[in-house]
Structure 1
Amino acid sequence: MTYVVTDSCVRCKFMDCVEVCPVDCFYEGENMLVINPDECIDCGVCEPECPAEAIQPDSADNIERWVEINRQYAALWPNINRKGEEPTDAREWLGVKNKFEQHFSKSPGKGS
């Protein structure tokens, strides 16, 4: 089992999860984080740290798409191992549904 980041992270990107990850398996996009499912050790410490509740186990319903999205972008984006600054409008996007299709950016973040 592994954990993955889902749609709720888009435009929020709070990064509290990055601080607690013991294996540095987070990767940073311009407006979203992903977890490399091949590096995640399934410890689960990141899940409760996410204010957007964007981190889900791969055993959740209808999660297969997110496993592949996380795997794809973890291979393209830079690794991040410490919390950066959240977007200035992150709180405004908290709780907005179905953000991926219209607001997701394929561009990489800065990394750490």
Structure 2
Amino acid sequence: MTYIVNDKCIACKYTDCVEVCPVDCFYEGENMLVIHPDECIDCGVCEPECPADAIRPDTDPDAEKWVEFNRKYAELWPVIVTKKDQLSTAEEMDGKEGKIELFSEAPGEGG
């Protein structure tokens, strides 16, 4: 099993999860994070840290497509290990449906 980040992270990008990750498997895009599924050790410490409930086990329904999505962007974006402020849109966008349309392929700053 591995953990993935789904579209609930888009336009929120809370980073509480990155500080607790013991293997630094989070990668930062412009408006979301992803987990590299080949680096995740399945410890699960990140899941309860996400205010948006965007981190889910790969056993969840609909998670299969997110495993490949996370893998793709983890290989393109920089690693992030330090907590940052969430996006200015986070409170407004938290829990909204259909956020995949807002997704940006652009990398974040990492760090």
TM-score by length of 2: 0.98
Would you say 1:88 and 2:85 are equivalent positions?
no
RMSD of aligned alpha carbons: 0.6
Would you say 1:63 and 2:63 are equivalent positions?
yes
CA distance in 1, matches of 2:86, 2:54: 15
Q: Which residue of 2 aligns with 1:103?
A: 102
Deviation at 1:5, TM superposition (A): 0.0
Q: Which residue of 1 aligns with 2:17?
A: 17
TM-score by length of 1: 0.97
Q: Deviations over 1:9-33 (max 9, x none)?
A: 0000010101110000000000000
CA distance in 1, matches of 2:57, 2:97: 19
Letter in 1 for 2:108: G
The ranges of structure 1 where at least 4 consecutive aligned residues each deviate by more than 6 angstroms after the TM superposition are none
Structure 2: gaps of 5 or more residues: none
Deviation at 1:98, TM superposition (A): 2.0
Deviation at 1:57, TM superposition (A): 0.3
